[in-house]
Amino acid sequence: MAQIHATAIVSSEAVIGNGVEVGPYVVIGPGVTIGADCKIGAFSRIEGPTTIGERNVFYGHASVGSPPQDLKYRGERTALVISNDNIIREFVTINRGTAGGGGRTTIESNNFFMAYSHVAHDCHVGSHTIFANNATLAGHVDVGDHSTIGAFSAVHQFCRVGDHAFIGGFTVVTQDALPYVKTVGDRPAKTYGINTIGLQRKGFEQDTLEALDRAYRILIRSKLKLQDALQKIESELGFYPEARYLVEFIRGTSKRGFIR
């Protein structure tokens, strides 16, 4: 059975799973579904429609499933979907989607959101990401698996962050952030090679790291035109899945280009 503190306010239209712990002064609204063994810290607020998977931990004062901060929003029914095993620290804010952006904000599994980080409407966050303190996504941002967004960094709307990307603290991301690469700086941000140490810690083999470094140099350091550089990466390094993903990421749908 769920453990609900006497001071918590839980809507009769919310669905609370087995083993859920709801702390003091929590507010859970209608249209909220919380999976088994989640922990909701004191003073947190969860609004619906929101679906939360299992074993997620929300520390105090989190605000989850609130309406989008979009002047075009007129109360349309939109949603937030969170998967499993996420850690959401104090004062984190995550908004629902908008009708114009597909109607859903999604968070996959095993992510760590540090205090005061923010995920805006219609964002899609993969798995195993880290959002450091005050990391902020504007609307319509896609964040790939295993990426890290540093403290006080901001990602502009409609940008993409690739798998295993590393965004340093206080960075302003106004174009797509390349996968596997370190991106750091304020207007304009710049790339500083692949994130070798981070990728080593995640178990990447040395030959893969060397291939990614070679691909980065072809893409950024050579004087080749973009399409020529991508073709060279494919021809020389295409047997590495990571190099192919880098090329596919750049060729993928992008509204703002990518940071070099």
The pLDDT score that the predictor gives to residue 45 is: 98
> What tokens does 239 get?
């047997």
Q: Is the pLDDT of residue 216 over 80?
A: yes
- What does the pLDDT look like over 21-56, one tens digit per residue? 999 999 999 999 999 999 999 999 999 999 999 999
- Pure H helices in the chain: 196-201, 206-216, 226-237, 241-251
User: Which CATH architecture group holds 199-251?
Assistant: Up-down Bundle (1.20)
**Is 162 in the active site?**
no
- What does the pLDDT look like over 103-144, one tens digit per residue? 999 999 999 999 999 999 999 999 999 999 999 999 999 999
> What tokens does 228 get?
């020529």
- What does the pLDDT look like over 153-179, one tens digit per residue? 999 999 999 999 999 999 999 999 999
Domain extents in the chain: 3-140, 199-251
**Is 121 in the active site?**
yes
The pLDDT score that the predictor gives to residue 122 is: 98
Q: Given this chain, do its domains 3-140 and 199-251 carry the same CATH topology?
A: no
The pLDDT score that the predictor gives to residue 256 is: 87
**Is 122 in the active site?**
yes
Which member of 35, 48, 65, 122 is catalytic? Answer: 122
For residues 174 and 189, the answer to whether their CB atoms sit within 8 Å is: yes
Burial of 211 (0-12, 13-18, 19+ CB in 10 A): buried
Which member of 31, 48, 70, 121 is catalytic? Answer: 121
Which member of 23, 139, 144, 168 is catalytic? Answer: 139
In CATH, 3-140 is 2.160.10.10: yes
